[in-house]
Structure 1
Amino acid sequence: MLFNTFTFFLFFITVFFLYWFLLKKRRVSQNILLLIASYVFYGWWDWRFLSLIVISTIVDFAIGKLIFNTTDKKRRKVLLVISLLVNLGFLGFFKYYNFFIENWILAWESFGISMNLSSLQIILPVGISFYTFQTLSYTIDIYRKKIEPTDSILSFATFVAFFPQLVAGPIERAQHLLPQFLRERKFSYKHALSGIHIFIWGLFKKVVIADTCATYVDVIFQDYGSMSTLTLMLGAVYFAFQIYGDFSGYSDMAIGLARMLGFDLMQNFKYPYFARDIAEFWRRWHISLTTWFRDYLYIPLGGSRTTLALQVRNVFIIFLVSGFWHGANWTFIAWGFLNAIYFLPLLLLKRNRVNKDNIEIVNVGQGIKTGFKILATFTITCFSWVFFRADNIQHALDYIMRMVSNKNFGIQFLSIERYNIELIAILGVFIAIEWFHRKHEHPFTGKFYLAKIILILFLTIVLGVFSNHEDFIYFQF
């Protein structure tokens, strides 16, 4: 059930009116409705995988209570390990089993040894990487004595399965989201309107930006051998905007939906393509995952408060694990490795925390310098996205070699539903909108905000009519 479909519109309208009008000021009943709605939403893809969410919920609810009530350090560790094994066991089997089996077979075959192992036809449960990390953070935080366990399994189950952010984040922490299920929610016209604004902006990014770019990206990456250098470069740029529009669009829609229901979710993207270096990019991109790895992996490894050699090791571990989290393919590992390489000079020069403030342009000279930094960061980001989009490592390398060695520099204007020039114009307008509203959560602020909403809705409806309802890219992660 995609957010950008009429089916979901009917689903959400039904939930919204039941939630605010029939069950007004009845918190427990509202939570029951949200839990049922969340299970229906998830089961719409494949009801069989609901059992995984239920098992994770029961296991972590029980283990959280046991850890909290246990003073014995050894027993606390054993309980935490059980939680890790259950959750990561599900994730490992469904997402990585075939990857390890296939590479194990290939490794032995390189020595001339045949292995009698076979991969399985495993269906990847939608959003398993997201809700696994969300529920894991609960038990880890209890183990670290940062939070206390909840006594309400209903509230905890709703926290784990909350449908706006269930399948593609943001990955919320219990200390932020769980208390919101434990207190009474009151309808606020202001918050509901804000939620609608954020949802519309996310819908625009998905339907107009991501889905339109996808049309060109698919053709360019499939037929890259016949494309010119500039077309291949455009393909990488288009994919950069496709994945940004797709993922940040989903996050915005999730935040908007949650806000309409009286909940506050964390901001997951802060205009990442305006980053002035790769460190700033990762402070702006997929923030909920980046901070998760920071708090539960990077800092426990020693973080930046250790020797330089160990800091370098930690950076590579974080980026390689992040790449592998995205998918069971060497392309994602290569993507993570590239980002670690990008990050390394900043770490060695101790400049990885330089650009932490908002972008301000005070004069022409400073503006040119900032623009160059943004363009350079965007360029290397697009280069790494080639590995993210490619089917395999060879595909990525062939694409890049064709891009840098091809003597044909022309642009092939592809006639695929719309002209290429139209997409470039749309992206130009999109970049301008984001730039002038980079200090705000969404562009529907200030003067003429109603006119902006009408224009964005008009473009979304008109262009959306002719676009394919593409699945969200991050659903596969």
Structure 2
Amino acid sequence: MLNYYLGLNIRNAKKEKIQKRFLYLGLIFNIGLLIYFKYFNFFYEGFVQLLNIFGGSSSYNTLTILIPLGISFFTFQTLGYLIDVYNEEIEPSNNILEFSVFVSYFPKILSGPIERASKMMPQLQEKRNLSYNIFVDGLRQILWGLFAKIVIAENCAVIVDPIFNNYENEAGVTLLIGALFYAVQLYADFSGYSNMAIGISKLFGIQLMRNFSTPFFSTNISDYWRKWHISLTTWMMDFVFTPLSFSLRSYKKKGLVISIVSTFILVGFWHGPNWTFIVYGLFHGLYFIPLVYSGKMNTSQVLSKGRNFPTLKELISMAALFLLIALTDVFFRSDNIIGAFEYIINIFKINNTISYNSEIISSGQLIKTTGILVFFFIIEWINKNKTHDFQIDSYNKYLRWSLYYLIFVLIINFSKSSQNFIYLKF
């Protein structure tokens, strides 16, 4: 309600000074709520620990705070709305029902995508006609998202969880397998949710933005972030990186590096009140430095252009980037920074004589999951340049239905008990 009326007041105010006051009120209100619900205990614990260094009390109690559903997503969405209204990029909504649907639209409320008002609000204001082709395409996207979540992500979790929970007693090869499969689990879990949310929206005639675009087929970190969690990345680029880099433009490439690293630290911290996420974001920001100084930050390579398969150079670049991403994701999965560093160090220990986890490595689970992953990524590779990962409307009827039945069979026979979506806690 407050954001709705702030949007109207920003536009109706005749003086820019008054408009800015309403904008600042909205920023303080939204960011303040997010900090209280999600980060209060993090800052409180840090403050108490700082006092302890100077001889303060060592005992303290944190608050038990129930976090509102999807607060990280709808907060950024409303912040973007107010900023766009202030910048006169959109007209403020004068319909409280439409604005409420924009903020709390149920398919995306849990884990996004973070929609921009300029794209979604017009769809709520216009009459939506049911289209057979869009409806069927939505069903395909739901099916692919369901397959990614309960088959790919959950089977990867069966391998990943025992390894991370007992990493001190695992061999380097086992830890490497755990890191690689966790990267795939994280992707399948989140992209699966996004595809289902987008697919469900198509059934209502609403087009949500694409949130993933086959990121593991990237050859550099810049291209990867253009394809990973696209709604968050574009939000951060528009509202954090762009104004920050503009203000630091006099420092040239150093200012650009500071802007990128600062933005990605915020990207990491957005995920949760833990130093592991901050380090995760810091590393991703640092990975951009070679691209900045080589002038290749904005280059986006079209893979296998005019060909069905990547070149050896492209394949090596994709594999090296995937390994880098997987190792960095260890911080995303670990409970603390020390545990994450220990996990990574143990991978590369030359004298790591600890026996590998025979139950995981030697079992049929690893072979079965790898086989399903091959099918998963083949389909994604074929559709990498299409609007979503399972856009198969151009296939002939018999091939389409064969794929439907194959996925149904895989879901029925290989799905695991569904855990919570990883991104629900963010």
| TM > 0.5 | yes
CA positional deviation for 1:407 = 2.5
Q: Which moved more, 1:304-313 or 1:219-228?
A: 304-313
1:4-403 correspondence to structure 2 within 5 Å:
58-114=1-57, 117-303=60-246, 307-360=252-305, 362=307, 367-403=311-347
SS at match of 1:105: helix
Give the aligned residue type for 2:344.
Answer: I
Q: Distance in 1 between matches of 2:214 and 2:185?
A: 14
Q: Distance in 1 between matches of 2:75 and 2:60?
A: 28
Q: Distance in 1 between matches of 2:20 and 2:61?
A: 35
The Cα offsets for residues 161-207 of structure 1, whole Å up to 9 and x where unpaired, read as: 10011110110000100111111111111111010000100100001
The Cα offsets for residues 368-424 of structure 1, whole Å up to 9 and x where unpaired, read as: 000011011111101100000001011101111211115248753435996222112
Give the aligned residue type for 1:294.
Answer: M
Give the aligned residue type for 1:468.
Answer: S
Q: For the Cα contact (< 8 Å) 1:414–1:420, is it kept in 2?
A: no
Judged with a 3 Å threshold, the aligned counterparts in structure 2 of structure 1 residues 430 and 475 are, in CA distance, closer, same or farther, namely same
SS at match of 2:244: coil
Q: Does the alignment pair 1:419 with 2:368?
A: no
Q: Distance in 2 between matches of 1:363 and 1:95?
A: 46
Aligned counterpart, 1:5: none
Give 2:404's match in structure 1, choosing from 445, 453, 468: 453
Q: Does the alignment pair 1:443 with 2:354?
A: no
The Cα offsets for residues 1-51 of structure 1, whole Å up to 9 and x where unpaired, read as: xxxxxxxxxxxxxxxxxxxxxxxxxxxxxxxxxxxxxxxxxxxxxxxxxxx
Question: May I ask how many residue pairs the two structures share in their alignment?
Answer: 417
CA positional deviation for 1:359 = 4.3
Q: Distance in 2 between matches of 1:325 and 1:359?
A: 35
Q: For the Cα contact (< 8 Å) 1:444–1:450, is it kept in 2?
A: no
Q: Which moved more, 1:126-135 or 1:430-439?
A: 430-439
Please list every run of 5 or more consecutive structure 1 residues that lacks an aligned counterpart in the other structure: 1-57
CA positional deviation for 1:305 = 5.3
Q: For the Cα contact (< 8 Å) 1:231–1:410, is it kept in 2?
A: no
Q: Distance in 2 between matches of 1:196 and 1:328?
A: 36
Q: Distance in 2 between matches of 1:112 and 1:379?
A: 44
Q: Which moved more, 1:162-171 or 1:294-303?
A: 294-303
Q: For the Cα contact (< 8 Å) 2:219–2:301, is it kept in 1?
A: no
Q: Distance in 2 between matches of 1:62 and 1:244?
A: 38
Q: For the Cα contact (< 8 Å) 1:63–1:79, is it kept in 2?
A: yes
The Cα offsets for residues 340-364 of structure 1, whole Å up to 9 and x where unpaired, read as: 1111111111111222535426598
Judged with a 3 Å threshold, the aligned counterparts in structure 2 of structure 1 residues 412 and 361 are, in CA distance, closer, same or farther, namely farther
Q: For the Cα contact (< 8 Å) 1:108–1:114, is it kept in 2?
A: yes
Q: Distance in 1 between matches of 2:317 and 2:306?
A: 13
Q: For the Cα contact (< 8 Å) 2:11–2:86, is it kept in 1?
A: yes
Aligned counterpart, 1:474: 423
Q: Distance in 1 between matches of 2:135 and 2:359?
A: 41
Q: For the Cα contact (< 8 Å) 1:334–1:387, is it kept in 2?
A: yes
Q: Distance in 1 between matches of 2:115 and 2:359?
A: 41
Give the aligned residue type for 1:387.
Answer: F
Q: For the Cα contact (< 8 Å) 2:142–2:196, is it kept in 1?
A: yes
Give the aligned residue type for 1:177.
Answer: M
Q: Which moved more, 1:67-76 or 1:265-274?
A: 67-76
TM-score between the two structures when normalised by the length of structure 1: 0.84
Give the aligned residue type for 2:400.
Answer: Y
Please list every run of 5 or more consecutive structure 2 residues that lacks an aligned counterpart in the other structure: none
Give 1:428's match in structure 2, choosing from 359, 362, 374: 374
CA positional deviation for 1:462 = 2.0
Q: For the Cα contact (< 8 Å) 2:159–2:365, is it kept in 1?
A: no
TM-score between the two structures when normalised by the length of structure 2: 0.94
Q: For the Cα contact (< 8 Å) 1:202–1:253, is it kept in 2?
A: yes
Q: Distance in 2 between matches of 1:178 and 1:213?
A: 38
Give the aligned residue type for 1:161.
Answer: S
Identity %: 38
Q: Distance in 2 between matches of 1:252 and 1:66?
A: 36
RMSD over equivalenced CA pairs, Å? 1.9
Q: For the Cα contact (< 8 Å) 1:272–1:284, is it kept in 2?
A: yes
Q: For the Cα contact (< 8 Å) 1:413–1:421, is it kept in 2?
A: no
SS at match of 1:438: coil
CA positional deviation for 1:328 = 0.4
Give the aligned residue type for 1:389.
Answer: R
Q: Which moved more, 1:352-361 or 1:430-439?
A: 352-361
Q: Which moved more, 1:436-445 or 1:223-232?
A: 436-445
Give the aligned residue type for 1:285.
Answer: W
CA positional deviation for 1:429 = 2.1
Q: For the Cα contact (< 8 Å) 2:261–2:282, is it kept in 1?
A: yes
Q: Distance in 2 between matches of 1:237 and 1:124?
A: 31
